[in-house]
Amino acid sequence: MSREYEIVVGLEVHVELATKSKIFCGCSTAFGAEPNTQTCPVCLGMPGTLPVLNQQALEYAIRAGLALNCTINKYSKFDRKQYFYPDLPKGYQISQHDLPLCEHGYVEIDTPEGPKRIGIRRIHLEEDAGKNIHAGDNIAAAQASYIDLNRCGVPLIEIVSEPDIRSPEEARAFLEKLRSILIYAGVTEAKLQEGQMRADVNVSVRPKGSTALGTRTELKNLGSFRSVVRAIEYEARRQWEALQRGEEIVQETRAFDEDRGITLSLRSKEEAHDYRYFPEPDLPPIVLTDAEIERIRAQLPELPDARKRRYMEEYGLSAYDAGVIVRDKAVADFFEAAVAAYGKGTEGAKVVANWVINELARILNEKNAELAQTPLTPDHLVGMLKLVDTGTISGKIAKEVFAEMVETGKSAEEIVKEKGLVQLTDEAALAEIALQVIEANPKAVEDWKKGKATAAQFLVGQMMKATRGRANPQLANKVIRAKLAEVTGVTNE
Ligand code: ADP
Ligand code: MG
Ligand code: ZN
């Protein structure tokens, strides 16, 4: 067998829709309520109750399908998926089996080899289950287990990809792009910390060059993109090593142990017939007209790829810069608002883009926060840029002011006033400082006398240090050279 192998991955992604109420009853979907306070006879699965489809959930699911380039089926239906688990009071989940709402879409991702399409096999609507809470560190050590049914009946879409993904990095890129598109489309907030987007990861391996699919395992319910990457890396290696030893891969469901970074066998894979699917008798099929689908298509907002192209055309941004900005809708909205308020055309847009891509991205990354979690507004950035333009603060000080704005939400003017950061442009004051610096650095002065022009740069640095970055650099440079010439009688270019 070839010593090189290829990873094949297909994802099943569950995304919570941003409706106010549940999919088949009027209960609230708000996160963080006391357990079991957002329930009713319908979502508790009481006998004799009837589900009614939430029209907003249906509309969001159609919008998601359109945003992901799917065909929307004009006839689809709900099915009961039977399994027994304490968090599922009805004993079945209402889902869609053989006739899903959306099919045959794709998501385009960026790879080192260029853009690549990952096929979407189907998208269907279903309800979420409740949540088991084990009193103790884990289920085995728990004295008791509790059940919170607030999540039971929260609307989900399940997005099933084709097995087109070839590496952990492509899996991450797919998930990030999917999340971005769905947030732009306004169908979900996809908050990862609240479990609003989770993935089942199907992994197989095969010798490089082979076209047949290998036997896969399914890794259940991964809640972070980092876990998806780690789980695929581990699982692909485990499978390949087993194959090299002449073993066969067992098609099974496995769990990823975050702490140990390994996957463990959970159970043999269930087949469709294990679920005894049958059509949901209490809900009518979903029948749509072309006009209804077209109405929803016409309302689709601008999606990230279109926005990226527009930023390249309208503002002359590079593909890379535009791509970084559009990734997070909140960041892109911030960028556009700042460009409009700054009002300097494409030049202004490039200045704003630089701050967004460099300083803002760096700070958010450091804080592990999203823009929405900070008090920063477009006006903050624009106020600061104006202080730079008028020479009130230097570019270096601007970075300090920017970080402070992100932290405190104070305006640039306020911060500059409070901290005394106004740029020193008074030539006489700078000449005074230049003299002090010259006296304190005789070695540099000797160098200057020997014809070393770089000594001036060193002394400008000392002036910046002495003024805590407030000296106007061009002026400091001019002043120090004049002073050096005056003191030593030597001029260097
Ligand atoms: P099931 O419904 O039994 O889970 P499907 O055939 O519908 O199985 O596939 C579910 C997911 O598994 C899809 O995302 C698909 O792309 C992926 N998949 C199927 N076969 C493989 C394979 N050999 N390797 C990796 N992923 C696979
Ligand atoms: Mg599956
Ligand atoms: Zn309810």
pLDDT, tens only, 380-391: 999 999 999 988
Length of the chain: 493
Q: Residues 320, 261: one domain?
A: no
Query: Hey, what are 439's tokens?
Result: 């006296």
Q: Which of 264, 194, 270 is nearest to 231 (CA)?
A: 264
213 lines ligand 1 (CB under 6 A): yes
pLDDT for residue 2 is more than 80: no
123 lines ligand 1 (CB under 6 A): no
* Integer Cα distance of 254 and 264 in angstroms: 5
81 lines ligand 1 (CB under 6 A): no
pLDDT at 425: 80
For residues 211-234, give the mean pLDDT. Answer: 94
8 lines ligand 1 (CB under 6 A): yes
From its phi and psi, is residue 141 left (phi > 0), alpha (psi between -120 and 50) or beta?
alpha
Phi, then psi, of 192 in degrees rounded to 5:
-70, -35
pLDDT, tens digit (0-9, with 9 covering 90-100), for 237-285? 999 999 999 999 999 999 999 889 999 988 777 777 789 999 999 999 9
Q: Residues 414, 431: one domain?
A: no
Q: Is residue 493 part of a domain?
A: no
Residue nearest atom 14 in ligand 1 by C-alpha distance: 10
Q: Is residue 159 part of a domain?
A: yes
pLDDT, tens digit (0-9, with 9 covering 90-100), for 69-124? 999 999 999 999 999 999 999 999 999 999 999 999 999 999 999 999 999 999 99
Q: Residues 142, 291: one domain?
A: yes
Q: Residues 411, 447: one domain?
A: no
The structure tokens 């829709």 sit at 17
Helical axes 304-315 vs 168-184, angle rounded to 10°:
80
pLDDT at 394: 84
119 lines ligand 1 (CB under 6 A): no
User: How far away, in angstroms, is 216 Cα from ligand 1 center?
Assistant: 8
* Integer Cα distance of 189 and 224 in angstroms: 15
For residues 277-296, give the mean pLDDT. Answer: 97
Q: Residues 76, 92: one domain?
A: yes
Residue 292: count of CB within 10 angstroms of its CB: 15
472 lines ligand 1 (CB under 6 A): no
CA dihedral (294, 296, 302, 306) positive or negative:
negative
Residue 125: count of CB within 10 angstroms of its CB: 27
Q: Residues 16, 106: one domain?
A: yes
pLDDT at 205: 97
Q: Residues 253, 395: one domain?
A: no
Q: Residues 315, 291: one domain?
A: no
pLDDT at 143: 83
User: How far away, in angstroms, is 215 Cα from ligand 1 center?
Assistant: 10
User: How far away, in angstroms, is 112 Cα from ligand 1 center?
Assistant: 25
Last residue of a domain, one of 419, 435, 462: 419
For residues 168-175, give the mean pLDDT. Answer: 97
Residue 355 CA, chain-centre distance (Å), reads 19
314 lines ligand 1 (CB under 6 A): no
pLDDT at 390: 87
162 lines ligand 1 (CB under 6 A): yes
Phi, then psi, of 85 in degrees rounded to 5:
-160, 145
Give the predicted TM-score (pTM) of the model. 0.87
Q: Which of 179, 78, 95 is nearest to 129 (CA)?
A: 95
* DSSP assignment string, 247-304: -----EEEEEETTTTEEEEEEEPPPGGGGT-EE-TTS--EE--HHHHHHHHHTPPPPH
* Integer Cα distance of 129 and 115 in angstroms: 36
Number of domains in the chain: 3
CB burial class (10 A; 0-12, 13-18, 19+) of residue 204? Answer: buried
User: How far away, in angstroms, is 133 Cα from ligand 2 center?
Assistant: 24
Q: Is residue 76 part of a domain?
A: yes
Best substitution site from 126, 202, 222 to test ligand 1's pocket, by max atoms within 8 Å of Cβ? Answer: 202
Torsion, CA 432, CA 462, CA 470, CA 366, rounded to 10 = -170
Confidence of residue 438 (pLDDT cuts 50, 70, 90): very high
For residues 302-309, give the mean pLDDT. Answer: 97
pLDDT, tens digit (0-9, with 9 covering 90-100), for 402-432? 999 999 999 999 998 888 877 788 888 889 9
163 lines ligand 1 (CB under 6 A): yes
Pick the residue with more confidence: 486 or 291? 291
User: How far away, in angstroms, is 27 Cα from ligand 2 center?
Assistant: 28
Q: Residues 129, 156: one domain?
A: yes
Q: Residues 39, 149: one domain?
A: yes
398 lines ligand 1 (CB under 6 A): no
Q: Is residue 330 part of a domain?
A: yes
Q: Is residue 141 part of a domain?
A: yes
pLDDT at 342: 95
What is the position in ligand 1's atom list of the atom closest to the CA of 12?
14
Last residue of a domain, one of 419, 444, 477: 419
Q: Is residue 291 part of a domain?
A: yes
Residue nearest atom 22 in ligand 1 by C-alpha distance: 216
* Integer Cα distance of 106 and 120 in angstroms: 5
Last residue of a domain, one of 248, 277, 295: 295
150 lines ligand 1 (CB under 6 A): no
What is the position in ligand 1's atom list of the atom closest to the CA of 215?
23
Residue nearest atom 5 in ligand 1 by C-alpha distance: 160
In the chain, % of residues over pLDDT 90: 80
Residue 262: count of CB within 10 angstroms of its CB: 15
89 lines ligand 1 (CB under 6 A): no
Confidence of residue 154 (pLDDT cuts 50, 70, 90): very high
* Integer Cα distance of 99 and 124 in angstroms: 9
Q: Residues 219, 271: one domain?
A: yes
Domain, as residue range, for 148: 5-295
Q: Which of 315, 320, 326 is nearest to 348 (CA)?
A: 315
User: How far away, in angstroms, is 272 Cα from ligand 3 center?
Assistant: 28
Confidence of residue 133 (pLDDT cuts 50, 70, 90): confident
Q: Is residue 459 part of a domain?
A: yes
pLDDT, tens digit (0-9, with 9 covering 90-100), for 180-192? 999 999 999 999 9
Confidence of residue 135 (pLDDT cuts 50, 70, 90): confident
pLDDT, tens digit (0-9, with 9 covering 90-100), for 354-374? 999 999 999 999 998 999 999
The CATH number of whichever domain residue 431 belongs to comes to 1.10.10.410
pLDDT at 310: 97
Helical axes 378-389 vs 395-408, angle rounded to 10°:
160
pLDDT for residue 137 is more than 80: no
pLDDT at 459: 93
124 lines ligand 1 (CB under 6 A): no
Q: Residues 282, 380: one domain?
A: no
